[in-house]
Amino acid sequence: MIGNMQLPAPRGPLSAALCADLAAGRSLRSGTRSAAASLTASAADPLTDDDLQLSLAVCYELHYRGFDEVDDDWEWDPELLRVRATLEERHLTALRAAAAPVEVTDEPVDQQLAAVIAADDGPSLSAYLARHGTLEHWREYLTLRSVYHLKEGDPHTWAIPRIGGRAKAAMVEIQADEYGGGSPARMHSQLFAGLMRQLGLDDGYGALWDEAPTVAFTSVNTMSLFGLHRRWRGACLGHLAAVEMTSSEPSRRYSLGLRRLGFGEDTTVFYDEHVEADAVHEQLASVDMCGSLVAEDPALTADVVFGAQCSLAMDALAAGHLLSAWENGRSALRREAVRAA
């Protein structure tokens, strides 16, 4: 049975006030609104602010599976949406600062995307895990990635009804593979859950939110922002294209890293699937999906490129967090122990 999840443990005054109001079923109190205003005014770096990112993730989760103790009517509560918009504004401002200036050219958009990816100099997490990753490193990495991979495909899928023509058909083709081509057991989220179980982690939806570091939410919040706003449909497609264009080779290295630790195909199947699927998706995403979108509406070109830049920036943020912790001999999670299944 697909269930909801429990509200996460607060990480500051805003998430504490927000979760208390949601659980109590009352209108947002002035204290919650004040905390939101104070936080967004004071957060030095919104992309790494625990309280801001968790609060935004809680707001977005109401559009996914929700929380056991929270009424579904909260999804479209006007006061909550106003608080969310305040957080989104700071998040988006920080994304713009993190991404390189978008220089749109007359080249086909697939070539522009390829150039953005070629210029990326972020650290290679897959190379580290392939060569040096320990079992504990892998458990921490999967804990971070579980925030997204247990809902894999869902944030981008919001964009499907907002586009048309060949771009829509191409996106549906890509997303159909994310959802297992009609086979529940082959859904990428389910393959990832199986990987978590193989490494002794709780694969319950949202079960590891309390252990996951801030950057896990920053990444998924970026996808949710793009997917839930029609204004950012171009960025959503550009983000997805960057994921598909940069996934195949790292997935091969992740698979090698697991095999180095003695795991077999029943464990590496999640990454093996991405090696094959994303190699096919690369042209489909960049040429058919993004190319068709901007051919119909050239004004969206800058947004497509921006979305790709944000995807790479979020990957670098997460990799930097993990590698910095590991190289200094400490856990990358918020708690030293990861809850085992």
The DSSP 8-state label assigned to residue 206 in this structure reads: T
Q: Are residues 252 and 137 in the same domain?
A: yes
What pLDDT was estimated at residue 2? Answer: 52
What pLDDT was estimated at residue 335? Answer: 66
Q: Are residues 117 and 262 in the same domain?
A: yes
Q: What CA–CA distance (Å, rounded) separates 75 from 1?
A: 22
pLDDT 10s digits, 74-112:
999 999 999 999 999 999 999 999 987 778 888 999 999
CA atoms within a 13 Å half-sphere pointing along the CA-CB vector of 297: 17
Domain end marker among 98, 133, 150: 98
Q: Are residues 183 and 275 in the same domain?
A: yes
Whether residue 249 lies inside any domain: the answer is yes
Whether residue 126 lies inside any domain: the answer is yes
pLDDT 10s digits, 259-289:
999 999 999 999 999 887 767 889 999 999 9
**DSSP string over 190-217:** HHHHHHHHHTTB--STTTTTTTS-HHHH
| Residue given tokens 């005014």 in the structure block | 41
What pLDDT was estimated at residue 340? Answer: 40
Domain end marker among 70, 98, 126: 98
Confidence of residue 339 (pLDDT cuts 50, 70, 90): very low
Enclosing domain of residue 84: 13-98
Q: What CA–CA distance (Å, rounded) separates 9 from 11?
A: 7
Confidence of residue 318 (pLDDT cuts 50, 70, 90): very high
Which CATH number covers residue 268? 1.20.910.10
How many domains does the chain divide into? 2
Query: What's the farthest any 2 CA atoms get from each other in the chain?
Result: 54
pLDDT greater than 50 at residue 294: yes
Least confident span in 92-101, 236-245, 293-302, 329-338: 329-338
Q: Are residues 118 and 92 in the same domain?
A: no
- Whole-model pTM: value is 0.94
What pLDDT was estimated at residue 58? Answer: 98
Q: What CA–CA distance (Å, rounded) separates 31 from 21?
A: 10
What pLDDT was estimated at residue 3? Answer: 56
What pLDDT was estimated at residue 46? Answer: 95
63: helix, coil or strand?
coil
Average pLDDT over residues 209-216: 98
Average pLDDT over residues 175-195: 96
Q: Are residues 161 and 287 in the same domain?
A: yes
pLDDT 10s digits, 11-68:
999 999 999 999 998 788 887 888 888 887 777 899 999 999 999 999 999 999 999 9
